[in-house]
A and B are shown apart, each in its own frame.
Chain A
Amino acid sequence: MRRHVDTVMVEQRAASFTRRSIKTQSKTQGLRLALSMIDLTTLEGKDSDEKVRSLCRKAITPWEGEITPSLPSVAAVCVYPSLVRIAKRALEGSGVHVASVATGFPSGQFPLSVRIDDVTKAVEAGADEIDMVINRGAFLSGHYDEVAEEIKQVRIACGDAHLKIILETGELETLENVRAASDLAIEAAASAGPIADGEVFIKTSTGKVSPAATMPVTLVMLDAIQSYFDKTGVRIGMKPAGGIRTAKQSLHYLVMVKETLGDDWLTPNLFRFGASSLANDVLRQLVRQHTGRYTANFDFSEA
């Protein structure tokens, strides 16, 4: 059943979260939390082993400078399946997860067998988390059963690895579609077996399509998560990805999560940012808070 979504109200409510004043200590706390929730991501054709290794070093120790208490590591490093092995070795013992996009990322336009194989290979290589893309073409054509079946099979292929389901909201046209896709994704994942808290995420975007994550889209997805929690008591995770570049934006998202799902979700187990440049902006703000001086872009390693 499709839920009605009031676009105007959603946009207004989403905008209201950007008007909280967060200063000094609470800002520092928020930024540290945001840093610990980042999936440091590199998804480019030119990614090399060394690029991934350097990203992993940054993931473990985001900044080499002195700051007390020491900064948290990010939540995960997100790479293509062929680079999972490299990332796994580089992150060994650090507690930072390896996430891999799979299922024919970013389009999802491949035969199901190829997409499942993609997942299996990534899991075998050591991925702790799989970021799958749904087949948007099938969804928009109304082939919901097909989409649901794919998600179910992918979840089974994941085994113990956590699953993040990318809806690619930039291609879904309306907020109502976003809500429908969220509900469908969660139900489909649940049909493959019971879900522990944080074992399944829904994720906005691949980062390859514009618009990527926006506040209204994320709010609609958070609502879907709330509904599922009310119904079953299971906590689904949320990952906005793409287009979140500034520390300020990350605080807006944290405010939104706090004021909708509540404090329970303010943990890397249930909320993530898919981003690459966000980490450096968060670091810039944290270092500025710490030293009182403005920093330069060359003070931080590339992410």
Chain B
Amino acid sequence: MSRLTVPKTYKLYIGGKFPRTESGRSIPIQDCKGEIAAHICHASRKDFREAVEVAAKAAHGWSGITGYLRGQILYRMAEMLEGRREEFAAAICATADVTTAAARKEVDASIDRLVCFAGWTDKYQQVLGCQNPVASNFYNFTVPVSQGVTCVIAPDEPSLLGLVSLIAAPLCAGNTVVALGSQKHPIPTAIFGEVCQTSDVPAGVINLLTGKRSDLIEQVATHRQVASVNAAGLSKKDRVTIEVGAADSIKRVSFSSLKGDAWYDPQLCASPWAIEPFVEMKTIWHPSSSH
């Protein structure tokens, strides 16, 4: 018996809920044959503002839990993604011109990336931090601490692996994230919220928007609550917009120029140096009886 298709309009993921955009706008997404695969929410500036608001509220709790627990939660995300491997592979294939095998490879790499950063959550402190020699009666430590809210702008391709790589590093360091997913292939971003929702990720820690970069780039650049930006695949014009806004509001900015297979390289994407742009260094002087 033939069935009716179930056409979907994917929602945003903000503050642990799945709202539609407050603007009521949606964008049809075409598959490779030019037919409509789904509709996605066309997020507005107000959606972005709302997401930053909840992310800022969630930041204290997320940075306050132990690195060990953050690691468990990131690992749980990897488990959930593993369980939905086929769904994500299909979501990648729905709009991108790739084979199922290639899509599965991307999902697997995304799972591995989450596992990798889950491992780093209670270890990057030892690599990035240090004990400093000082010529007086003090112990002197430098330790990395989280920044607050990181805004992620994911590359168009790879849609899932790019998003996961860019959010995992700031999350690992105890930042909360507002991410704008791939503009060309937004479906994996839209369903990634369901992974977050079922992985004990506290509400507001990960917020996912879909829509047009050009609508939000100015707000991302100038919003004073956003402490850092992690972006890939931006045009020169967009990079300039972000840098000018960031200079005014004192953000740390990290642009990635990775392409193709480079996204699969753990040396480039999953080292503690990928975490470093999303921490601040705090130096502590502690009195000692001798040196």
Taken together as a complex, chains A and B put the C-alpha atoms of A240 and B52 apart, in Å, by 30
CB distance from A247 to the nearest CB of B (A): 13
Give the nearest-CB partner of A291 in chain B: B222
CB distance from A126 to the nearest CB of B (A): 39
Name the interface size band of chain A: under 10
User: Given A294-B219, A295-B224, 9 other A-B contacts at CB below 8 A?
Assistant: A293-B223, A293-B224, A294-B52, A294-B224, A295-B225, A296-B223, A296-B224, A297-B225, A299-B224
CB distance from A24 to the nearest CB of B (A): 15
Kindly identify, within residues 190 to 219 of chain B, every residue whose CB is under 8 Å from any CB belonging to chain A.
Answer: 219
Establish whether residues B223 and A297, one from each chain, have CB atoms under 8 Å apart when the complex forms.
no
Kindly identify, within residues 48 to 81 of chain B, every residue whose CB is under 8 Å from any CB belonging to chain A.
Answer: 49, 52, 56
By secondary structure, the B interface counts as helix
Give the nearest-CB partner of B49 in chain A: A294
Give the nearest-CB partner of A294 in chain B: B223
Q: Which residues of B contact A299 (CB under 8 A)?
A: 224
- Total number of A-B contacts with CB less than 8 angstroms? 21
Q: Which residues of B contact A292 (CB under 8 A)?
A: 222
Establish whether residues B56 and A297, one from each chain, have CB atoms under 8 Å apart when the complex forms.
yes
Contacting residue for A293 out of B52, B56, B222, CB 8 A: B222
Interface residue total, chain B, C-beta cutoff 8 A: 9
7 A-B contact pairs sorted by A residue (CB < 8 Å): A293-B222, A293-B223, A293-B224, A294-B52, A294-B219, A294-B222, A295-B224
Q: Which residues of A contact B56 (CB under 8 A)?
A: 296-297
Establish whether residues B225 and A296, one from each chain, have CB atoms under 8 Å apart when the complex forms.
yes
Kindly identify, within residues 249 to 299 of chain A, every residue whose CB is under 8 Å from any CB belonging to chain B.
Answer: 292-297, 299
Give the nearest-CB partner of A295 in chain B: B224
Taken together as a complex, chains A and B put the C-alpha atoms of A295 and B223 apart, in Å, by 6
Which of B219, B223, B224 neighbours the largest number of chain A CB atoms within 10 Å of its CB?
B224
Q: Which residues of A contact B52 (CB under 8 A)?
A: 294
Give the nearest-CB partner of B223 in chain A: A294
- Check: B241 CB closer than 8 A to any chain A CB: no
